[in-house]
Amino acid sequence: MIAIDLISEIVPAINKDDKATEALNWMDVFKVSHLPIVNEKEYIGLISDADIFDMNKPENPVMNHPLSLQKPFVNEQQHIYEIIDLVSKLKLSVVPVLDNNENYIGLIRVIDLAQEFSHLMSAENPGGTIILDVKNYDYSLSEIAQIIESNDAKILSLYVRSIKDAEKLEITIKTNRTDLSAIIQTFERYSYNIRAVYANTKEVDSLLQSRISSFFKYLDV
């Protein structure tokens, strides 16, 4: 999934000559805290509600407001993982998208990004989930896949998280099987440390949604 496929057809950009009050109104309507400033196809920058409140001159054009962000954007061909990385670093509610000629073509809402990421993690598909603790130097995706597939199951999604201050990885594996007993036994035979198992559909959905929320925990989406 790339940026151009995620562009919202709902949220507009704000024209450079529009008043800040208008920008705040649009932000309130669409439940976002940022809007791109444009001059026709030219992308000028990203204004936040904090920028407007800090200046405290809402009747001034948005162009006259100092912008706290250094013109963030993604190219139309960038992958969803790169977009998520930018959102996480800058705590954005929308991401401006430019074409290969650096013309503004639209924006991506973080709420849409979260929903698409949920699809990538197969959160809506039935199946069970296993969480492993693995030392960094022991991690082998091919071995994990072989263990899953040797038990007539498939990996629907796999999420790897580094455990801070402990040279370990937490590996969350969503499979297409709810009966995980044979898979668990095989992991134990290979001396894997199983942290948790979720075979109940509601438990799995809750777990994966929490993983998705970890990317956007600073936003109310």
Q: Which ranges constitute the DSSP H helices of 72-140?
A: 80-90, 110-120
Using alpha carbons only, what angle is made at residue 80 by residues 31 and 176, rounded to the nearest 5 degrees? 105
Q: Give residue-wise pLDDT tens across range 114-136.
A: 888 777 665 667 788 899 999 99
Q: Give the pLDDT mean for 32-53.
A: 96
| Phi (first) and psi of residue 14, to 5 degrees | -110, 135
Q: Are residues 174 and 187 in the same domain?
A: yes
User: At which of 91, 118, 145 does a domain end?
Assistant: 118
Q: How far apart are CA 9 and CA 74, in angstroms?
A: 17
3-state SS class at 146: helix
Chain-centre distance for alpha carbon 155: 21
Do 61 and 94 lie in a common domain?
A: yes
Q: Range of 101's domain?
A: 3-118
Same domain, 82 and 179: no
User: Could you tell me if 13 and 101 lie in one domain?
Assistant: yes
Final residue belonging to a domain, choices 118, 143, 159? 118
pLDDT at 209 over 80: no
Give me the pLDDT at residue 211, please: 58
User: What residues contact residue 53 under an 8 Å CB cut-off, 6+ apart?
Assistant: none
- In the sheet that holds 34-39, the strands lie side by side as 14-15, 34-39, 42-48
pLDDT band, very low/low/confident/very high, at 6 (cuts 50, 70, 90): very high
Burial class (CB in 10 A: 0-12, 13-18, 19+), 219: middle
List the beta bridge partners of residue 131. Answer: 172, 196
Domain assignment present for 221: no
Two structure tokens written together for 152 = 């007539």
pLDDT attached to residue 221: 45
Same domain, 160 and 200: yes
- Shared domain check, 38 and 78: yes
CATH classification of the domain holding 77: 3.10.580.10
Helix or strand (DSSP H, E) at 50: helix 49-55
Look at residue 104 and tell me if it is in a domain: yes
Provide the number of structural domains found in the chain: 2
The SS3 call for residue 192 is: coil
CATH number at residue 157: 3.30.70.260
Given a cut of 70, is residue 204 above it in pLDDT? no
Of 89, 118, 147, the last residue of a domain is: 118
- Using one digit for the tens of pLDDT, what is the confidence trace for 150-201? 999 999 988 888 887 778 999 999 999 988 989 999 999 999 999 988 875 5
pLDDT given for residue 157 in this prediction: 87
The single-letter DSSP state of residue 123 is T
pLDDT at site 159: 85
Q: What are phi and psi of 193, to 5 degrees?
A: -90, 110
Please check whether residues 68 and 148 belong to one and the same domain: no
Residues 113 and 30 both lie in one domain: yes
CA distance 138 to 145: 14
